[in-house]
Chain A
């Protein structure tokens, strides 16, 4: 596969970050200079900053450690695949942990001022008029984490090396904000901060073709469909006296569906029913019905979309 010419290059030093404009079809390479450095990343729709990469949605679709072959998604109500991870030579990333913050370093370590991803992201994106409140949870590249028990996750040391990189293909015009994670007193970057090289180049046809199509659905809303289209420009929240709720599909009418079960089917129901329903046969059978439907027709877990091929969903 041929590689196109680099059109932008920048080395972000410890304590800093950089906002980079990218057009759809360009590739951002995030590369280790010395190795062992966690990189926080966020991106916004360049033409509408209210759409941005959403870790929760990305985590739901691709799990806790998305890597090569996965997407960076925006959150509801947009839910677009914004970028595609075309290459990932280290293969360890995290979307469990939020960005570190000044509050963390003050509360846990007593620092008055300390490098942190919230403030670095905010300072980098200030170039485009965005405020600190516009920073969102970051995709943490080269960050090693693991679920350490039934209720906790933890950060572990990492072993990325100089030259390890991730290539992110922009699927829409984005502002990509990348920073050297400020955590020097945690394991995240093995207790030392190192520079990171950024470069942008045009994707080749083959690289663009490597991103599988994602479903384009009516539910991927745009501001044109919003009842409130304008971005609120003041800070105080006040109720609109003309507001009348217009929730969808309400009232949710309920209908009785009688189903005649044979003695044998009643015995089967008894064998598979969830104990939480007690003697409520209808609720137990409804659970069986939708559990079966999920097993038979849902391609991805937790409602994740089908990324390639056609859906078998009715």
Chain B
């Protein structure tokens, strides 16, 4: 997905998610089934695919 047109400049950043152990269990099971190689990769994949699906929705409407 192409980022929204904006004048704001973005820089790379480490974003810290606070996850409890149940949430981590779900993410770890997602990793274990091969969706992505590690927790951080799952998060990045989620961001990419979630944005893509929002984009598709926008185009449909």
Contact = CB atoms under 8 A, between A and B. Distances in A.
The SS class assigned to the B binding surface is helix
A212 B16 CA distance: 44
A292 B48 CA distance: 9
The SS class assigned to the A binding surface is helix
Given A265-B47, A270-B8, A293-B26, A281 B18 contact: no
Contact of A292 (B3, B9, B46): B46
Contacts of A258: 14-17, 40
A291 B50 contact: yes
Contacts of B27: 289
Interface residues of B, number: 42
Interface string A258-272: 111111111111111
B47 A290 contact: no
Nearest to A295: B53
Interface stretch (A6-14, A159-167, A246-254): A246-254
A307 interface: no
Given A253-B20, A254-B19, A257-B40, A266 B11 contact: yes
Contact of B12 (A254, A261, A281): A261
Contacts of A264: 3, 10
A261 B26 CA distance: 21
A269 B12 CA distance: 12
A270 B3 contact: yes
B43 A259 contact: yes
5 contacts: A253-B21, A260-B40, A265-B47, A285-B17, A292-B47
Interface of A: 249, 252-272, 281-283, 285-286, 288-293, 295-297, 314
Given A257-B17, A282-B15, 18 more contacts: A249-B21, A249-B22, A258-B15, A259-B16, A259-B43, A261-B14, A261-B44, A263-B10, A267-B4, A271-B54, A272-B54, A289-B43, A292-B47, A293-B30, A295-B50, A314-B30, A314-B32, A314-B33
Interface of B: 1, 3-4, 6, 8-24, 26-27, 29-30, 32-33, 35, 39-40, 42-51, 53-54
